[in-house]
Homo-oligomer: A and B are copies of this chain.
Amino acid sequence: MAERPRRAAVNRRHFVAGSAAALTGVSLAGCATASPSRRVEDVGASVEPFYGRHQGGVATVPQAHAQFVGLDLVPPPGRNARDALGAVLRLWTSDAERLTQGRPALADTEPELAAQPARLTVTVGLGASAFDRAGLNHTRPATLSELPPFGTDELDPRWCGGDLLLQLCADDPVALAHAGRVMLKSVRSMTRQRWRQRGFRNAHGVGRPGGSMRNLMGQVDGTANLREDAEFERLVWDDGADQRWFAGGTVLVLRRIRAEMDTWDELSRDAKELVVGRRLDTGAPLTGQKETDAPDFGAQVGGIPVIAPNSHIALAHPRSDGERFLRRPYNYDDPPAAGATTDSGLLFATYQRNPATQFVPVQERLAAADGLNPWITTIGSASFAILPGVQPGQTLGEALLA
Binding site for B on A (CB under 8 A): 24, 26-28, 30-31, 34-35, 37-45, 64-65, 109-113, 116, 118, 171-175, 177-178, 180-181, 184-185, 188, 192-193, 196, 198, 200-207, 213-214, 216-218, 261-262, 264-265, 280-281, 331, 333, 335-336, 338-339, 341-342, 344
Give Cα A260–Cα B189 distance, bound, in whole angstroms.
18
For residue A331, give the distance in angstroms from its CB to the closest CB of chain B: 7
In the bound complex, residues from chain B placing their C-beta under 8 Å from that of A35 are 24, 42
Give the residue of B109, B196, B280 whose beta carbon is less than 8 angstroms from that of A112: B280
In the assembled complex, the Cα of A217 lies from the Cα of B174 at a distance in Å of 11
A342 contacts which of B181, B205, B207 (Cβ < 8 Å)?
Answer: B181
Known interface pairs A184-B341, A218-B109. Does A34 touch B41 (Cβ–Cβ under 8 Å)?
A: no
Contact present for A44 and B177 (CB under 8 Å): no
A203 with B341: CB separation less than 8 A? no
The docked-state distance in angstroms from the alpha carbon of A181 to that of B332 is 13
Tell me, rounded to whole Å, the shortest Cβ–Cβ distance linking A339 to chain B. Answer: 8
Cβ-defined contact, B112 with A205, below 8 A: no
Contacting residues, chain B, for A264 (C-beta < 8 A): 109
Report how far A60 CA is from B41 CA in the complex, Å: 23
Given the complex of chains A and B, what is the CA–CA distance between A175 and B214 in angstroms? 11
Supposing A24-B34, A113-B216 touch, asked if A44 and B174 sit within 8 A by C-beta, the answer is no
Q: Give A107 Cβ to nearest chain B Cβ, in Å.
A: 9
The chain B residue sitting closest to A107, CB to CB, is B265
Q: Which 10 A-B pairs have the closest CB atoms?
A: A43-B205, A110-B218, A44-B206, A173-B200, A109-B265, A177-B333, A196-B335, A172-B203, A31-B31, A26-B34
Q: Which residues of B contact A342 (CB under 8 A)?
A: 181, 184-185
Min CB distance A29 to B, Å, is 9
A261 and B181 form a contact (CB under 8 A): yes
Are B214 and A112 neighbours in the complex by a CB distance under 8 Å?
A: yes
A35–B23 alpha-carbon span in the complex (Å): 12
Q: Name the contact of A174 in the complex, choosing from B30, B204, B331 (C-beta under 8 A).
A: B331
Which single residue of chain B is at the shortest CB-CB distance from A269? B109
Known pairs A44-B205, A44-B207, A331-B174; A216 contacts B26 (CB<8 A): no
Q: Which residues of B contact A44 (CB under 8 A)?
A: 37, 202-203, 205-207
28 contacts between A and B (CB under 8 A): A24-B38, A26-B30, A27-B30, A28-B31, A39-B41, A42-B205, A43-B204, A43-B205, A44-B202, A44-B203, A44-B205, A44-B206, A44-B207, A109-B265, A110-B217, A110-B265, A116-B202, A171-B206, A173-B201, A173-B333, A174-B200, A174-B202, A174-B213, A174-B331, A181-B261, A192-B339, A196-B335, A203-B203
